[in-house]
């Protein structure tokens, strides 16, 4: 099984697919092209996901979960972006938009928190009890 990580930025949408050892097996990037409504951004995310899947030679059935780091504040319980000035989001159900398009569980988190968690799991913080990412 594989997992997908998405970095949603104001300029680019970057997608990485990792295996069970957290090794990157494929990545893809598309322009965010702001300003754009939330549905258009969700479409861009899906485009980048499918590009990465094609590169990896896998399909959505091979994917365990999808996590997305977004600028601004996010409610990880509901998958909503509460506020993102960069994206023009306010109480935007990004998780549900992507789940309906991709059919997978979507985890939405603030991008800085997501980066720190990634470092803890698979990066410079792997194996340490406490990690600080700046």
Looking at residue 122, its pLDDT comes to 87
Has residue 15 been placed in a domain? yes
pLDDT tens figures, 43-88: 999 999 999 999 999 999 999 999 999 999 999 999 999 999 999 9
The verdict on residue 130 lying in a domain is: no
In what helix (H) or strand (E) does residue 95 lie, and over which residues does it extend? Answer: helix 94-102
* Domain tally, the chain: 1
Number of separate helices (H) and strands (E) present in the chain: 3, 8
* pLDDT tens string 84-104: 999 999 999 999 999 999 999
Q: Is the whole-model pTM more than 0.85?
A: yes
- Is 127 domain-assigned? no
Residue the block writes with tokens 């997978």: 104
Q: How far is CA 18 from CA 53, 79, 91, in A?
A: 11, 21, 29
On whether residue 118 sits in a domain, the answer given is yes
CATH number at residue 51: 3.30.420.40
Which H or E run includes 130?
A: none
Determine, yes or no, domain membership for 129: no
80 within domain boundaries: yes
49: in domain: yes
Q: Is 94 helix (H, G, I), strand (E, B) or coil?
A: helix
């Amino acid at each position: 099984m594989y997992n997908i990580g998405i970095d949603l930025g104001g300029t680019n949408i970057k997608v990485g697919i990792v295996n069970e050892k957290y090794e990157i097996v494929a990545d893809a990037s598309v322009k965010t092209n702001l300003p754009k409504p939330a549905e258009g951004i969700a479409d861009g995310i899906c485009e980048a996901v499918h590009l990465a899947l094609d590169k990896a030679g896998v399909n959505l059935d091979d994917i365990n979960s999808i996590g997305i780091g977004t600028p601004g504040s996010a409610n990880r319980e509901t998958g909503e972006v509460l506020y993102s000035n960069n994206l023009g989001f306010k109480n935007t159900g990004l998780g549900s938009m992507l789940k309906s398009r991709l059919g997978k569980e979507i985890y939405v988190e603030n991008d800085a928190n997501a980066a720190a968690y990634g470092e803890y799991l698979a990066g410079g913080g792997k194996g340490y009890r406490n990690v600080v990412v700046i």
